[in-house]
């Protein structure tokens, strides 16, 4: 315990304590709500929704800036929090057989306040989101639930869509080129999973017009960019960005914060220059001819490197002879050579370079690096070079999520980045207590002198646990490391399964 905590108490404990009276109020309503019929629950929720939207309509011209609008909505929704949470809890019980625990109610309150709820794995984040989503859907402006992959977006929309539908709310999901709506009267006979059988195809605009929309950060971001390129209003699909609940918020808002979303178009035809530059940069010497900055993912030619390239190309002045554009291509060839590694950043599949998502390890089919970088990698690997692209629109996740009136998040590990969340997004982190006492033991980090020692220790640890019949899940940062570890396990005679993007 820090000196500050000794003097003023644990601020997180105070925050949890502050939520307890509201949880008690919700619990007090449970018995009354249980006596209502299915029809009465839907009618009561819709009655509250109609009341809130009418009040917001009256105030819409009085609130111009984002912060004022956020405050007005919080004030209008505040009197209905306990009842809507109680209605949602009962809806979940009757549709999917799950009742929100008290700590889940707390999590929902934290999300509604536009904060981050740190919840341990297995504490039911998916169910917690329904509380804040149904409450903020009262405004009638749309709620976006942001997931880390398409599978979860589809699963959660189909699964939790039953809860929302019970309250009279519409639920959709956006997956690549598809947009789906939860429809209780529709059943897709080709789908075996009961959770997703009631999703039917709709237009993208219809998906965004739904009360609650599930999707990945990529899909929401790219649709925003496409809307900004639209020629007229009819071509746009998104409504103004209102409220987002971000799952695995540390991964999306911190780890991927500066990742740019880029929409590009074909530029000039591919030429032999990519192959030529790729061949020449292999003759340059690190530190002497170029400097690598792993932190900002950049490579820079030194003065000596420029002179070396001029000699290799047989020109006196590389800038005069080749121009800025071609110097840029030389730097991209160097970047492809020095920074981008096969089976870590990309794989070669069917003669094409396919990008590997550094955060999920999944293949990003159809995605290409821009500004000639993808062509430089193609030249490096000796595969067919495709047309270069030029950037038409771009935005980072950090800037995109700042556009929402209100954002909230859930994760199992946020408190370590609490300062960053507050500084960049003005988001506070609240650590939720567990529903049951924790029996898992979380150990401290172990630091090794080098990678070889680390991997040998991992193999030894797996061997010991394997002998006791204890299953082990091992995560690696790249396909390359994945395969190295798999090889070491094979040599040690340990049976295992390998899962990676290849």
Q: Are residues 198 and 312 in the same domain?
A: no
Torsions phi, psi for 454 (to 5 deg): -65, -50
Q: Over 80: is that where the pLDDT of 397 sits?
A: yes
Q: Are residues 403 and 462 in the same domain?
A: no
Q: Over 90: is that where the pLDDT of 236 sits?
A: yes
Q: What's the pLDDT tens digit per position in 160-179?
A: 999 999 999 999 999 988 99
Q: Are residues 278 and 250 in the same domain?
A: no
pLDDT of residue 298: 86
Q: Over 80: is that where the pLDDT of 322 sits?
A: no
Whether 437 is covered by a domain: the verdict is no
pLDDT of residue 1: 47
pLDDT of residue 7: 47
More confident residue, 259 or 203: 203
Q: Over 80: is that where the pLDDT of 406 sits?
A: yes
Q: Which domain CATH number covers 383?
A: 3.90.1440.10
Q: Over 60: is that where the pLDDT of 446 sits?
A: yes
Q: Which residue, 131, 138, 127, is CA-closest to 19? A: 131
Q: Are residues 276 and 258 in the same domain?
A: no
DSSP at 60? T
Whether 438 is covered by a domain: the verdict is no
Q: Are residues 197 and 312 in the same domain?
A: no
CA max distance for the chain: 88
Q: What's the pLDDT tens digit per position in 455-484?
A: 999 999 999 999 999 999 998 888 888 889
Q: Which domain CATH number covers 56?
A: 3.40.50.300
In the 3-class helix/strand/coil scheme, how is 347-387 assigned residue by residue? EEECCEEEEECCCCCCEECCCCCCCCHHHHHHHHHCCCCCC
Q: Are residues 118 and 192 in the same domain?
A: yes
pLDDT of residue 4: 46
Predicted confidence band of residue 270 (pLDDT cuts 50, 70, 90): low
More confident residue, 387 or 90: 90
Whether 393 is covered by a domain: the verdict is no
pLDDT of residue 64: 67
More confident residue, 431 or 415: 431
Q: Are residues 93 and 168 in the same domain?
A: yes
Torsions phi, psi for 60 (to 5 deg): -60, -30
Predicted confidence band of residue 268 (pLDDT cuts 50, 70, 90): low
Q: Which residue, 225, 176, 171, 222, is CA-closest to 200? A: 171
Predicted confidence band of residue 448 (pLDDT cuts 50, 70, 90): very high
Whether 361 is covered by a domain: the verdict is yes
Q: Span 425-432, mean pLDDT? A: 92
More confident residue, 120 or 400: 400
**DSSP H helical ranges for 170-251:** 204-209, 217-229, 249-250
Query: What percent of the chain has pLDDT above 70?
Result: 95
271, two tokens: 């030429």
Average pLDDT, the chain: 90
Q: Over 80: is that where the pLDDT of 425 sits?
A: yes
Highest mean pLDDT among 13-17, 242-246, 392-396: 242-246
Whether 460 is covered by a domain: the verdict is yes
- Please report, for residues 78, 206, 209, 371, the alpha-carbon distance to residue 180 in angstroms, rounded to integers and kept in the order given: 32, 9, 12, 34
Q: Span 51-56, mean pLDDT? A: 93
Q: Are residues 292 and 156 in the same domain?
A: no
Q: Span 343-354, mean pLDDT? A: 91
Predicted confidence band of residue 365 (pLDDT cuts 50, 70, 90): confident
Torsions phi, psi for 260 (to 5 deg): -85, 135
Identify the burial level of 213 via C-beta atoms within 10 angstroms of its C-beta, where 0-12 means exposed, 13-18 middle and 19 or more buried.
buried
More confident residue, 371 or 459: 459
Q: Are residues 289 and 250 in the same domain?
A: no
Q: Are residues 190 and 230 in the same domain?
A: yes
CB atoms under 10 Å from CB of 80, counted, come to: 17
CB atoms under 10 Å from CB of 333, counted, come to: 29
Pairing state between β 352-356 and 363-364: antiparallel
Beta strand spans in 164-302 (E): 171-175, 178-182, 199-201, 212-216, 243-247, 260-266, 290-293, 298-301
Predicted confidence band of residue 3 (pLDDT cuts 50, 70, 90): very low
- The total number of structural domains that make up the chain: 3
CA distance 339 to 333: 10
pLDDT of residue 415: 77
Whether 294 is covered by a domain: the verdict is yes
More confident residue, 394 or 441: 394
Q: Are residues 407 and 379 in the same domain?
A: no
Q: Are residues 291 and 343 in the same domain?
A: yes
pLDDT of residue 297: 82
Q: Over 70: is that where the pLDDT of 2 sits?
A: no
Q: Span 369-387, mean pLDDT? A: 89
Query: What percent of the chain has pLDDT above 90?
Result: 65
Q: What domain range includes position 106? A: 3-262+398-431
CB atoms under 10 Å from CB of 84, counted, come to: 26
Predicted confidence band of residue 363 (pLDDT cuts 50, 70, 90): confident
Q: Over 80: is that where the pLDDT of 245 sits?
A: yes
pLDDT of residue 441: 80
Q: What's the pLDDT tens digit per position in 279-306?
A: 999 999 999 999 988 888 889 889 999 9
Whether 436 is covered by a domain: the verdict is no
Whether 94 is covered by a domain: the verdict is yes
């Amino acid at each position: 315990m820090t000196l500050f905590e000794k003097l003023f108490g644990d601020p997180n404990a105070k925050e949890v304590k502050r939520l307890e009276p509201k949880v008690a109020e919700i619990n007090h309503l449970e018995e009354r709500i249980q006596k209502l019929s299915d029809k009465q629950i839907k009618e009561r929720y819709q009655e509250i929704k109609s009341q809130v939207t009418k009040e917001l309509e009256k105030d819409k011209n009085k609130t111009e800036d984002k912060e004022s609008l956020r405050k007005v909505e919080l004030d209008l929704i505040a009197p209905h929090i306990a009842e809507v949470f109680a209605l949602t809890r009962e809806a979940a019980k009757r549709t999917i057989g799950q009742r929100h625990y008290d700590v889940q109610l707390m999590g929902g309150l934290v999300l509604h306040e536009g904060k981050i709820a740190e919840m341990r794995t297995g504490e039911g984040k998916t169910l917690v989101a329904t509380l804040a989503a149904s409450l903020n859907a009262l405004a009638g402006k749309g709620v976006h639930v942001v997931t880390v992959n398409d599978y979860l977006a589809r699963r959660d929309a189909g699964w939790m869509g039953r809860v929302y539908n019970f309250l009279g709310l519409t639920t959709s999901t956006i997956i690549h080129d598809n947009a789906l709506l939860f429809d209780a009267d529709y059943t897709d006979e080709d789908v075996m999973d009961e959770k997703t059988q009631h999703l039917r195809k709709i237009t993208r605009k219809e998906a965004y017009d739904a009360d609650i929309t599930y999707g990945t950060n990529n899909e929401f971001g790219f649709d925003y960019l496409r809307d900004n390129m639209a020629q007229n209003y009819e071509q746009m699909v998104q409504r103004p960005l209102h409220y987002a609940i971000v799952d695995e918020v540390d991964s999306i808002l911190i780890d991927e914060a500066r990742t740019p979303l880029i929409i590009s178009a074909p530029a000039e035809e591919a030429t032999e220059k990519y192959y030529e530059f790729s061949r020449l940069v292999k003759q340059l010497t690190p530190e002497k001819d170029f400097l690598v900055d792993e932190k900002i993912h950049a490579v820079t030619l030194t003065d000596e490197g420029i002179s070396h390239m001029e000699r290799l190309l047989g020109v006196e002045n590389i800038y005069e002879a080749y121009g800025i554009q071609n110097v840029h291509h030389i730097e991209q060839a160097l970047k492809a050579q020095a920074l981008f590694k096969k089976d870590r950043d990309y794989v070669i599949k069917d003669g094409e370079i396919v990008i590997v998502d550094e955060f999920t390890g999944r293949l990003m089919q159809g995605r290409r690096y821009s500004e000639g970088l993808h062509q430089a990698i193609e030249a490096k690997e000796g595969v067919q070079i495709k047309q270069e692209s030029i950037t038409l629109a771009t935005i980072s996740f950090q800037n995109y999520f700042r556009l929402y009136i209100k954002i909230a998040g859930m994760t199992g590990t946020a408190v370590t980045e609490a300062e960053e969340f507050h500084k960049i997004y003005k988001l506070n982190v609240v650590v939720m207590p567990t529903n049951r006492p924790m029996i898992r033991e979380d150990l401290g980090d172990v630091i090794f002198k080098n990678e070889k020692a680390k991997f040998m220790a991992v193999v030894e640890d797996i061997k010991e646990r394997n002998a006791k019949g204890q299953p082990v899940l091992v995560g690696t940062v790249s396909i390359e490391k994945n395969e190295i570890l798999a090889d070491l396990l094979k040599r040690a005679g340990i049976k295992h399964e390998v899962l990676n993007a290849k």
